[in-house]
Structure 1
Amino acid sequence: MGTGPAALVIGSIALACGPAGGDVTGGHGPEGAAPGERAAPGGHGAAEASEPGWRLESFRDLVVEVPASWEPAPAPGGDWCAAVEGRPEAFPDKPYVDSRGPYRAEMALGCFSGEEEPDLHGGGVPREYWSPHVWFAATPAAGGIEKVPDGRVSSNGWSRLVRTVGSAKVFVLTDEAHLDEAGRIIASARQAEVDHHGCAASSPIQAGGFVRPPAPFDVAQLDAVDTIAVCHYDLNSPVGSPGLLASRELGGAEATALLAAINAAPVGGGPDTPDTCAKNTWGNTGIVLRLTTGGSVHEAYVYFDSCFGNGIDDGTTLRALTTDNCAPLWSGRVVHWGGSAAPFRVCHPGSVPAVNPTKTS
């Protein structure tokens, strides 16, 4: 195949696209640095957004540009009728990026909208609760969503645009007012081995079983940190296949505070309640923290949704989860959907966890 620009035609919209991965570099850190190696400051596997007012979002090995004003928020799902109670404001009323993940809790309800038009949104959600938004799905995926064909389908002033890139699909639901933005979002999708925060599409943490970081270090020896990337992975995706769910990055005072909180945590891991589950289980997701300082990159693993094995592991020492070192991890599309109650309460003080099934060996 050639490497020049291609034209992607979606419905009646012609969009200029570069080659998949055309501005993406390989590796596992700044300028391709592996954990524990030094690299020149700056730069990640995927390029920054092409112009101000846009940002990048990643899912598995897909990176896409979205308007900065489209903030992450949970889209209504199949249990939409339980949340409404006559309150349309229960759902986003401005364009957004769906922050729901594959292990979100959803009530088993038979919500019925009574509409016969094509369900471009999914979940049978009535049109009155629709807002333009972006969402992602793995291919293949449970529920058959990966079978939705690429292209554009329109009905009654709404359109759904779909494009497959690598092992993921990106969807955009849009009204006519945001059709140009939707077209640009779809056209920007590209494949990347490493996203804009330095998070690899696939990580050794996906081996499950509370595997330890392959490049041990002592986080207590770090006097300072420039940035900390939070890379959220699906532990049900085999190692070597894309499992990245979302990422974000902390810098400045936030990164400094998180480093201090990790070092202040008690040694030994936890909180754990091992008598509440089988010994051959572990959580559905895990986090890789990429700590960058002076061009050096170190990776620590965070486990948080099992009844045992929880904590922050630098490969040398396992430290306990505390509110100060766990609560700052969650924001945007990096979402803790549920799991064991003890770590959830520490990471989300004042919240009630939604219990999700855990993976078994």
Structure 2
Amino acid sequence: MTGSDDAMTDTLTSAFRRHAGQAPPVDGLPEKVVVLARRRRRLRVTVAVAAIVVAAASIPVAFVASVRDTVPTATRPHPAWRWESYRGIEVQVPPDWGYGVPGRSWCAGTERGAPRPGAVGRPGPVQDVRCMPDYPPVDQRENWLVFGGNEAGVHRYDAGWVEETRRLHGGSVTVFTDDAALRRAILGSVRPIVGTDEHGCPVDHGVVGDQAGYRPTDGGLPRPETVESVSVCRYTLTSGSAFPLLSSGRLTGEAAGRVVAAIRSAPESDVTVAGDGAEIAVLRLHTDDDRTREVVVRYSDSTGNGFDDGTTRRELTADAIRPLLTGPNSPSQLSGAVAKLLGG
């Protein structure tokens, strides 16, 4: 290997890395450029380098490429995938993905059951543990999508696993997978929520600014048989949140009618609302006369938790609350009495 060859390789590599942050990520491009440059080296040096690469392959190492905060190229919505919302953005994931991502506290998590095809995670209380390395061994990994405040960028790990973060509309989506096509499809579906999300939930709501005093004004609960769907919208009550929507979901058909019937059957309550909760949910009941009525669901106050349709306040019951606070709407904070109703 000559000095001029080394200088040329170093110059090309340095120039490429200087400009990598100004271009969208392309799988494998940095490695390809370096490989092409180094083909000029003699065989004995190539063999030595290959030995080092093989020795290092068993160690999980993240290779980072910086990218600008940018809107990903939009893709056609996948008709069979479901939508997930958080703050001001929504994104599609495969329908068989579950919920709950241990993230960088994976080594302290409880034992999981059968491997899942993937999972969606949202910020919330986590165990204060830093596991090494950042992700589980290859045979314990699953596809993940996490909402949160991560910086935009691409991190490459061992065995072809990649973590990529895109930022949009004040939020971020991080996907961790070894399937490049799946990663592109998910990140390509990210879009800002304009008005209401795919499940019919507003990105903001009046109850957030007046959690104790807010009451719906649209006439109370409709008859269960008239309800075509129920949008379940979960909000943070933390002040200063530009986009307080934490998650959403939708019940349709018989499931929607059953939950409305369960709310109507709940005992009436005259307990004063405390107004000190961390989260709250709003149900938007869509009826066959093209009207939308609301029910406020308080579950994280110190007192006064229950359903409020603007006409009647009712107690929370297991039959009524369990179909609502599940899946994407699993609460991160709630009172002990409500936890018992949920089976906690």
- What is the rounded CA distance, in whole Å, between the counterparts of 1:133 and 1:189 in structure 2? 15
| Cα distance in 2 between the residues matched to 1:62 and 1:218 | 31
CA contact (8 A) 2:199 2:248 kept: yes
Cα distance, 1:236 vs structure 2? 0.9
Does the C-alpha gap of structure 1 residues 333 and 154 become closer, same or farther in structure 2, counting only changes over 3 Å? same
Pair 1:169-2:176 in alignment? no
Aligned to 2:320: 325
Task: Give the number of the structure whose residues are more often helix, by fraction.
Answer: 2
- 1:15-34 Cα offsets, whole Å, 9 max, x none, are 98249xxxxxxxxxxxxxxx
- What is the Cα deviation at residue 222 of structure 1? 6.3
Q: For 2:287, give the aligned amino acid.
A: T
- Residue 17 of structure 1, aligned match among 73, 81, 101: 73
**Residue 319 of structure 1, CA deviation:** 1.0
Partner of 1:250, secondary structure, is strand
Distance 1:153 1:79 in 2: 18
1:269 and 1:310 in contact (8 A); partners too: no
Contact 1:10/1:161 (CA < 8 Å) preserved in 2? Answer: no
Change (3 A) 1:262 1:152: same
Counterpart AA for 1:81: C
- Give the unaligned 5+ runs of structure 2: 1-22, 30-70
Following TM superposition, by how much is the alpha carbon of 1:96 offset from its aligned partner in structure 2, in angstroms?
Answer: 1.8
Which protein has greater RCO, CA pairs closer than 8 Å, 6+ apart?
1
Contact 2:224–2:257, Cα closer than 8 Å, also in 1: no
Name the structure 2 match of 1:72. Answer: 98
**Distance in 2 (alpha carbons) for counterparts of 1:250 and 1:313:** 19
Structure showing greater Rg = 2
Task: Give 2:330's aligned amino acid.
Answer: V
Residue 284 of structure 1 corresponds to 278
Q: Find the aligned partners of 1:56 and 1:107 in 2 and give their Cα distance.
A: 28
Task: Report 1:156-235 matches (<5 A).
Answer: 156=158, 157-175=160-178, 178-193=179-194, 194-219=196-221, 224-235=226-237
- Whether the 8 Å CA contact 2:74–2:190 is kept in 1: the answer is no
Percent sequence identity over matched residues?
A: 28
Offset, 1:161: 1.2
Map 1:1-361 to 2 at 5 A.
Answer: 9-12=24-27, 17-18=73-74, 50-69=77-96, 71-83=97-109, 90=112, 93-99=115-121, 101-104=122-125, 106-108=126-128, 110-113=129-132, 115=133, 119=134, 121=135, 125=136, 128-137=139-148, 145-146=149-150, 148=151, 150-156=152-158, 157-175=160-178, 178-193=179-194, 194-219=196-221, 224-238=226-240, 241-268=242-269, 282-294=276-288, 295-346=290-341, 348-349=342-343, 351=344
TM-score w.r.t. length of structure 1: 0.69
CA shift in 2, pair 1:131/1:291, >3 Å: same
Structure 1 spans left out of the alignment, 5+ residues: 1-7, 20-48, 138-144, 352-361
Does the 8 A contact of 2:81 with 2:94 survive in 1? Answer: yes
How many residues were matched structurally? Answer: 278
CA distance 1:51–1:126, change in 2 (3 Å): closer
- Are 1:135 and 1:172, in contact at CA under 8 Å, matched by a contact in 2? yes
Aligned in 2, Cα 1:306/1:167: closer, same or farther, shift over 3 Å?
Answer: same
Cα distance change on mapping 1:226 and 1:179 into 2, 3 Å: same
Separation (CA, whole Å) in 2 of partners of 1:308 and 1:78: 35
Deviation at 1:283, TM superposition (A): 1.6
Relative to the length of structure 2, the TM-score reads 0.72
**Does the 8 A contact of 2:216 with 2:296 survive in 1?**
no
Residues 109-154 of structure 1, C-alpha deviations (whole Å, 9 max, x = no match)? x4543x4xxx4x5xxx5555331111111xxxxxxx44x2x23221
